[in-house]
Every structure is written in C-alpha cells, then in structure tokens.
Amino acid sequence: MEILKVKDLVVNYGMIKAVKGASFCVNQGEIVALIGANGAGKTSILHTVTGLLSAKEGSIEFDGKDITRTKAHDIVKLGMAHVPEGRRVFGDLTVIENLKLGAYIRNDKAGIEESLDKIYKRFPRLFERKTQVAGTLSGGEQQMLAMGRALMSNPKVILMDEPSMGLSPLYVNEIFDIIREIHESGTTVLLVEQNAKKALSIADRAYVLETGNIVLDGDAKTLIDDDSVKKAYLGE
C-alpha cells in the first residue's frame, strides 16, 4: 500500500528551480532511499513533503490525504516525522526537553513517559545525558537525539535527511543500525543520503536524483550493481 505518493513535484528554492517534476512513492513498511549529489534537490523534496517549503506544482498524498497545502505543524499530527539535515536539535534545551518537544502533539502523559523509556532503552547515551543541554552533545549524540525526538511523535513514516553527514565511520555504522531497527519495529522510512553505498545497503528501493529530476529508480539491490550508479555515486 502506498503511504506516501509524490506526483510531478516542482519546487522553487529562491530563484532556483530545485525540483523539476519529481514523482515517487513509498509503500508502507519500506525503506526508500533518495540518493544523489549535493544540490540534486533531495532536501528540497523532503522539506516540501513536510511542509517547510511549498510546492510550486504537483501533489503530495500521505495516508490517503492530500497534504500539498497542509502546514508543517499539522502534517506532524497526521503521523509524519522529519529528522532534518544538520540534526537541528534545540541546543539551549536539555536532552529531555528536546525529547518532550518531539511529543508536542501528544497529550497522553502516560504514553509519552512510555515512549521516553523506549527511547532511553534504544539510545542509552541519551539517558546518561538527559539533563545536559543538547548543544554540548557530540555530533553523533545529536543525531541520536534528533532521531529520538522524531520517534517521540509515534510516526507512521519517518523522513531522514543525511543522518550520517559529518559523523565518524563508527557512528555512521551505529546510525544505520538504528535506522534498520526503527524500520524493523514497523516504521516506514524515507531516507535521503549522500552516502549512497550505505543507503542502498539497507533500502528496499531507491530513486536517483540529478539536478531536480529523478533519473533512475528500482530495487536497491539492482541499483547497487548498476554501472552508471557505481560510477557516479559509489566511486567504483
């Protein structure tokens, strides 16, 4: 079943046409990767899906509803969470305050506490640092916090923008393990990554973006062996 369906999306970013008619879909339970070079329009697509940017043309459908013109703060309520590029945790707030803001749309106190416990189990390091302000965490810890914060809203679909960016190889592996775990616990994942090799290794399907257009799509396993993908994105 298609849970997210993007059709003929055109997005302008300032004067630049960042996305030029992209169509793709994400089925329930999948990990779908959007790969492509810097400036291909990956982040613009994610921002438009979650309402931070508005679509110039085209449509976005989520869980059977048209959300093309829905405001960002209302889209979260429908069950979509977004882990933005560069983590964007609230640096002056403590870890626990960041996580609680992730549950801003929820009102079930007991349920929120339960989710908080789950997050602490999945990310023991966040538990250790729960009263620390987020700005003092390392890059990898901030990435975990951004993921934990997004999970606090109990999303059906989670969008992740460059989760491995700027992290040490050790952390990169850990982050990808966590993405796999999140997916295994039943959350659908749309992943944007420059690290194409890593992304394709955990994804079910993938779309390749080039200067605002989708130029290739298919099974991740097929794409990983595709000669043009190998040459352009896997450095082989």
Partner 1 sequence: MLINFIEQLINGLRTGSIYALIAIGYTMVYGIAKMINFAHGDIIMVGAYALYFSISVLGLPVPVALLLTVIVCSVLGVLIEKIAYKPLRKAQPLAVLITAIGMSFFLQSSSLLIFGSTPIPFQSVIPNENIKVGPVIISSITLVTLVVTAVAMILLTLFINKTKMGSAMRAVSEDKGAAELMGINVNSTISMTFAIGSALAAVAGILYISQYQSMKPTLGALPGIKAFVAAVLGGIGSIPGAMLGGILLGLIESVSKAYISTELADAIVFGVLIVVLLFRPSGLLGKKKIVKV
Nearer to partner 1, 133 or 216 (CB): 133
CB of 103 to partner 1, least distance (A): 9
- Toward partner 1, which CB reaches closer, 96 or 234? 96
Please state the closest distance from residue 53 (CB atom) to partner 1, in A.
10
Least separation in angstroms between CB 231 and partner 1: 32
Q: Judged by CB, which is closer to partner 1: 25, or 72?
A: 72
Residue type, 125: R
Nearest CA among 161, 190, 173 for reference residue 33 = 190
Residues recorded for the chain: 236
**What is the smallest separation between the CB atom of 226 and partner 1, expressed in angstroms?**
33
Residue 38: phi, psi to the nearest 5?
Answer: -55, 130
DSSP string covering 109-178: HHHHHHHHHHHHHH-HHHHHTTTSBGGGS-HHHHHHHHHHHHHTT--SEEEEE-TTTT--HHHHHHHHHH
* Identity of the residue, 105 or 215, whose beta carbon is nearer to partner 1 in the bound complex: 105
Q: Which residues bind partner 1 (CB under 8 A)?
A: 50-52, 71-74, 76-77, 81-82, 84, 88-93, 97, 100-102, 104-105, 149-150, 153
